[in-house]
Amino acid sequence: MTAESTPDAFREELRAWLEENCPQEMRDGKMTEEGICWGGKNWQFTSQAQKQWLDRCAAKGYTVPTWPKDYGGAGLNRAQEKIFHQEMGRINARKPLQSFGIWMLGPALLHFGSHEQKLHYLPPIARGEVRWCQGYSEPGAGSDLANVQTKGEDKGDHWLVNGQKIWTSYADKADWIFALVRTDREAPKHKGISFLLIDMEDPGVETRPIKMISGISPFCETFFTDVKVPKDQIVGEENRGWDVAKYLLTHEREMISGGGAGLSGGGRALGAVIKDTMEGLTDATLRADAMRCEVDSLAIGLTLERYKDQAEAGQGAGDASAMLKYMGTELNKRRHELMMTAGGSDALEWDGPLGNRAGDWLRTKANSIEGGTSEVMLSIVSRRVLGLPG
């Protein structure tokens, strides 16, 4: 399939390919914790079909459809990407692979990485061979992200890294981590940070899961003790890591607002989940809430579309992406409150008749905290978009 083919031809080819290659078992749109394939060195496939689906998609570049072919993608343009998602949605296909490598590191590397770095790091992400995690937050930093203290000392051919990260999602399952490290302690706080890629198997890297209110431990603490990081594992320039971090955060915000993984039900239109939950609903108040949620879901979905179209037209969203993060996560919390109410007592058991609905609900409470709190998003909008004084 080529980026040059017409939309109609592309759709036809894609349909035929999906028909032949997407295993029946992968056509339930299941996006719960167990349904997601994260890949990585230690990944245990939950079924033969999950492995087949990943391998077949990876071979076509469909795990990262818009990435260039050289780096493991299919090189799809925006119109084709839309068709790709429509056709995947039509057969309710699961995403073959999800990872922070795809959502966050990939876009940052594509923008800031050298050609060698792209060739080295991107294809294994696309094939699901290497799983990444994000080392941004620190116990004392939180939303004041530029306040990171993890230290990287210049030792000639490498940096010597010491410090602690927190909220490193799935660090216990990741192979590599991309981390913000302070490499110049004298510079103003935004100017002394570098963006380093670190192998989690290196001596001195240790992780511990943090148990959350949802009963699971997606988050970890990660400790670095005299970890040696070779000089070629920096993305962008030394002490200019904040630029990379900011770029990446924009992608993260868009991902979270779009209900990507990390949010249960991700990948499907937000509204579809409400619709399923509300099937046959007669309670007037609940129905009214659901309608309101549906109206907002659809409008936010269209805004994501519009921002993507704008980006393609060379009008990047920039700080306005804080809006997507804020509106998307607040909606997602409302949606899960609604789903709990609709589920009644069935929703109150761990792994009860509705699966882990309660766990998903509790998980959403972090949505408006992770990746910058809703309050921080509003401050970004008010200062940088509206130009209100700080």
Partner 1 sequence: MEKLVLTEEETMLSDMARGYLDGAAPVAKLRRMRDAGETHDAALWKEMADMGWAGVLVPEAQGGSDMGYAAANLLAREMGKTLAVSPYISTAVIAATALRQVADARAEAALARIAAGEATYALAVDEGIKFDPEAAQMTARADGNGFRLDGKKQFVVDGAMADRLLVLARTDNGLTLFDIPADRAGVTRDRSNMIDARDAARITFDNVEATGEDVLGQVDQAMTVLKPALMAGQGALAAEMTGLAAGAFDMTVGYIKERKQFGIEIARFQALQHRAAHLWCEIEVTASAILNAGRMMDADPDSAALAVSLAKARATQTATLAVQEGVQMHGGIGMTDAYDMGFYMKRARVGAEWLGDYSYHAEQVAAARGF
Q: What residues make contact with partner 1 under the rule CB under 8 A?
A: 271, 274-275, 278-279, 281, 287-288, 290-292, 294-296, 298-300, 302-303, 305-306, 309-310, 312-313, 315, 320, 323, 326-327, 375, 377-379, 381-383, 385-386, 388-390
Smallest distance from the beta carbon of 305 to partner 1, in angstroms? 6
- Choice between 115 and 284, CB closer to partner 1: 284
- Choice between 320 and 347, CB closer to partner 1: 320
CB environment 6-43: b (16+ within 10 A), e (fewer) = eeeebbeebeebbeebbbeebbebebebebbbbbbeeb
CB-based contact 132:176 (threshold 8 Å):
yes
Of 87, 252, 254, 370, catalytic: 252
Collect all residues with Cβ–Cβ distance below 8 Å to 35 and sequence separation of at least 6.
28, 94
- Choice between 70 and 276, CB closer to partner 1: 276
CB atoms within 10 A of CB 225: 12
Smallest distance from the beta carbon of 370 to partner 1, in angstroms? 19
Q: Which residues pair with 154 in a beta bridge?
A: 159
Distance (Å, whole) CA 196 – CA 209: 22
Smallest distance from the beta carbon of 367 to partner 1, in angstroms? 15
Distance (Å, whole) CA 336 – CA 291: 14
Which tokens sit at 273? 């989940």
Q: Could you give phi then psi for residue 266, rounded to 5 degrees? A: -60, 160
Residue 78 amino acid letter: R
- Choice between 186 and 279, CB closer to partner 1: 279
- Choice between 210 and 388, CB closer to partner 1: 388
* Alpha-carbon distances, residue 155 vs 184, 234, 238, 269, 295 (angstroms): 13, 14, 14, 49, 56
Smallest distance from the beta carbon of 366 to partner 1, in angstroms? 20
Smallest distance from the beta carbon of 350 to partner 1, in angstroms? 28
Q: Is 252 a catalytic residue?
A: yes
Q: Please return the burial class of 316, using the count of CB atoms within 10 Å of its CB with bins 0-12, 13-18 and 19+.
A: middle
Give the residue numbers annotated as catalytic, written as ranges: 252
